[in-house]
């Protein structure tokens, strides 16, 4: 192959935005010669590498857009530490059928048992499956909606939270919610109802959501919509943050009251 042809090929690949193939062009040609690849095998390898590279880039981009607080996979979750969790159930959820069926997932449990980790892990699976995901905390979401309302941009903000196929709302119940905040939260839940699946996490049982939202009627209306099509996962166990302390006998394991 002449240097001019090599350069032309590089330009074509650049023009077609096949960046991986451009970067690997000479190495690919050498591999093809040394391994005596057939034309079909060569094309297969070039396109295969390009698709893999573009897919990985796309996943990284959508992972950044999701605004996770940390990136931890389901594979990094130690199910042995949390025996109340049904590993099979979580693996089934990892296949994302719940998203297609418009079902919500609600993860309940005391602090440190891995609710956020599970939510992020399932979010990453959804991204790998090609969905757009957005992660927020209940407090962050309500603060944003309240600010948008004051600035006359509520509709715009609600849209922002309605567009991603999967919305994760973490930490419901850590901070008390004012009446206006509860109303805004309800508006968003209504907008996504039966259209956009959500993963919600809370350290409070459903029975306590009346206090969380400062209003039993609003809490009931929110729960009514959230739970209409929902899978509830109750984690009853010890905080993973105490794992080493528990092991060292520095603290006693808790027997948390079951959450219903
Ligand atoms: P929660 O949201 O329930 O308060 P997190 O998901 O934030 O708890 O978990 C606290 C920390 O412990 C995180 O760094 C998380 O990755 C880790 N963690 C919790 N449970 C597990 C587990 N079973 N296996 C591996 N890491 C875990
Ligand atoms: Mg958390």
Q: What is the pLDDT of residues 110-164, one digit of tens each?
A: 999 999 999 999 999 999 999 999 999 999 999 999 999 999 999 999 999 999 9
**Mean pLDDT for the stretch of residues 169-197:** 94
Q: Determine, yes or no, domain membership for 230.
A: yes
Q: Which residues line ligand 1 (CB under 6 A)?
A: 72, 77-78, 81-82, 109, 111-117, 240-241
pLDDT over 70 (residue 257): no
Instruction: Tell whether 161 and 43 lie within a shared domain.
Output: no
Domain of residue 8, residue span = 3-61
Q: How confident is the model at residue 252 (pLDDT cuts 50, 70, 90)?
A: low
Pocket test for ligand 1, best of 75, 80, 85, 112 (most atoms within 8 A of CB): 112
**Mean pLDDT for the stretch of residues 59-67:** 97
The CA 43 to ligand 1 mean position distance, Å, reads 44
The CA 171 to ligand 2 mean position distance, Å, reads 6
Instruction: Tell whether 55 and 82 lie within a shared domain.
Output: no
Residues 206 and 260: beta-carbon distance below 8 Å: yes
Instruction: Tell whether 162 and 194 lie within a shared domain.
Output: yes
Query: What is the per-residue pLDDT across 3-21, written as a single tens digit (0 to 9) for each?
Result: 999 999 999 999 999 999 9
What is the pLDDT at residue 250?
66
Ligand 1 atom with least separation from CA of 110: 3
Buried b (16+ CB within 10 A) or exposed e, 118-143: bbbbbbbbbbebebebbbbbbbebbe
Instruction: Give the residue from 61, 82, 111 where a domain finishes.
Output: 61
The CA 57 to ligand 1 mean position distance, Å, reads 27
Instruction: Give the residue from 32, 61, 90 where a domain finishes.
Output: 61
More confident residue, 260 or 21: 21
The CA 116 to ligand 1 mean position distance, Å, reads 7
Instruction: Tell whether 53 and 158 lie within a shared domain.
Output: no
pLDDT, the chain, mean: 94
Ligand 1 atom with least separation from CA of 120: 6
The CA 128 to ligand 1 mean position distance, Å, reads 21
Q: Determine, yes or no, domain membership for 254.
A: no
Q: Determine, yes or no, domain membership for 120.
A: yes
Pocket test for ligand 1, best of 114, 139, 204, 235 (most atoms within 8 A of CB): 114
Instruction: Tell whether 170 and 124 lie within a shared domain.
Output: yes
Q: Determine, yes or no, domain membership for 112.
A: yes
What is the pLDDT at residue 245?
72
Q: How confident is the model at residue 244 (pLDDT cuts 50, 70, 90)?
A: confident
Instruction: Give the residue from 41, 61, 81 where a domain finishes.
Output: 61
Q: Helix 154-162 to helix 138-150 angle, to the nearest 10 degrees?
A: 150
201: CB partners within 8 A, 6+ apart: 106, 107, 108, 115, 116, 118, 119, 168, 169, 170, 171, 172
pLDDT over 60 (residue 173): yes
What is the pLDDT at residue 243?
80
Q: Which residue has the tokens 């109340």?
A: 84
Instruction: Tell whether 174 and 189 lie within a shared domain.
Output: yes
pLDDT over 80 (residue 253): no
Ligand nearest to the CA of 72: 1
> Could you write out the DSSP letters of every residue in the chain?
--HHHHHHHHHHHHHTT-HHHHHHHHHHHHHHHHTT--HHHHHHHHHHHHHHHHHHHHHHHHHHHHT-SS---GGG--GGG-TTS-HHHHHHHHTTHHHHTT-EEEEE-STTSSHHHHHHHHHHHHHHTT--EEEEEHHHHHHHHHHHHHTT-HHHHHHHHHSSSEEEEEEETSS---HHHHHHHHHHHHHHTTTS-EEEEESS-GGGHHHHTT-HHHHHHHHHHHHHTEEEEE--S--GGGHHHHHTTSSPPP-PPPP-
The CA 170 to ligand 2 mean position distance, Å, reads 7
pLDDT over 60 (residue 254): no
Instruction: Tell whether 99 and 39 lie within a shared domain.
Output: no
pLDDT over 80 (residue 97): yes
pLDDT over 70 (residue 104): yes
**Total tally of structural domains belonging to the chain:** 2
Q: Determine, yes or no, domain membership for 156.
A: yes
Query: What is the per-residue pLDDT across 208-229, written as a single tens digit (0 to 9) for each?
Result: 999 999 999 999 999 999 999 9
Instruction: Tell whether 109 and 213 lie within a shared domain.
Output: yes
Interstrand relation of 230-234 and 198-202 (parallel, antiparallel or unpaired): unpaired
Instruction: Tell whether 238 and 125 lie within a shared domain.
Output: yes
Instruction: Tell whether 126 and 35 lie within a shared domain.
Output: no
Say what the pTM is.
0.89
Ion ligand 2: protein residues whose beta carbon lies under 5 Å:
116
CATH assignment of the domain containing 216: 3.40.50.300
Instruction: Tell whether 45 and 71 lie within a shared domain.
Output: no
Q: Determine, yes or no, domain membership for 259.
A: no
Q: Determine, yes or no, domain membership for 105.
A: yes
**Mean pLDDT for the stretch of residues 163-186:** 96
Ligand nearest to the CA of 110: 1
What is the pLDDT at residue 198?
98
What is the pLDDT at residue 242?
83
More confident residue, 259 or 78: 78
What is the pLDDT at residue 113?
96
Q: Determine, yes or no, domain membership for 260.
A: no
Q: How confident is the model at residue 251 (pLDDT cuts 50, 70, 90)?
A: low
Instruction: Tell whether 97 and 184 lie within a shared domain.
Output: yes
């Amino acid at each position: 192959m002449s240097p001019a042809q090599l350069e032309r090929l590089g330009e074509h690949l650049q023009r077609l935005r096949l960046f991986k193939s451009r970067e690997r062009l000479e190495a690919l040609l050498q591999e093809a010669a040394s391994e005596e690849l057939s034309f079909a095998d060569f094309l297969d390898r070039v396109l295969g590498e390009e698709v893999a590279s573009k897919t990985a880039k796309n996943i990284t981009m959508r992972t950044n857009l999701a605004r996770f607080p940390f990136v931890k996979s389901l594979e990094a979750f130690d199910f042995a530490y949390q025996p109340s969790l049904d590993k099979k159930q979580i693996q089934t959820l990892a296949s994302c059928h719940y998203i297609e069926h418009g079902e919500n997932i609600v993860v309940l449990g005391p602090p440190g048992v891995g609710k956020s980790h599970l939510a992020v892990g399932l979010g990453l699976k959804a991204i790998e499956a090609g969905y757009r995901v957005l992660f927020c905390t209940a407090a962050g979401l309500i603060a944003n909606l309240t600010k948008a309302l004051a600035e006359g941009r509520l509709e715009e903000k609600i849209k922002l939270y309605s567009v991603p196929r999967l919305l994760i709302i973490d930490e419901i119940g850590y901070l008390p919610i004012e009446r206006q905040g509860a109303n805004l939260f309800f508006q968003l839940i209504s907008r996504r109802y039966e259209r956009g699946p959500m993963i919600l996490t809370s350290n409070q049982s459903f029975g306590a959501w009346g206090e969380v939202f400062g209003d039993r009627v609003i809490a009931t209306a929110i729960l009514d919509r959230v739970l209409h099509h929902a899978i509830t996962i109750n984690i009853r166990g010890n905080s993973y943050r105490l794992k080493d302390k528990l092991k060292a006998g520095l603290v006693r394991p808790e027997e948390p009251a079951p959450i219903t």
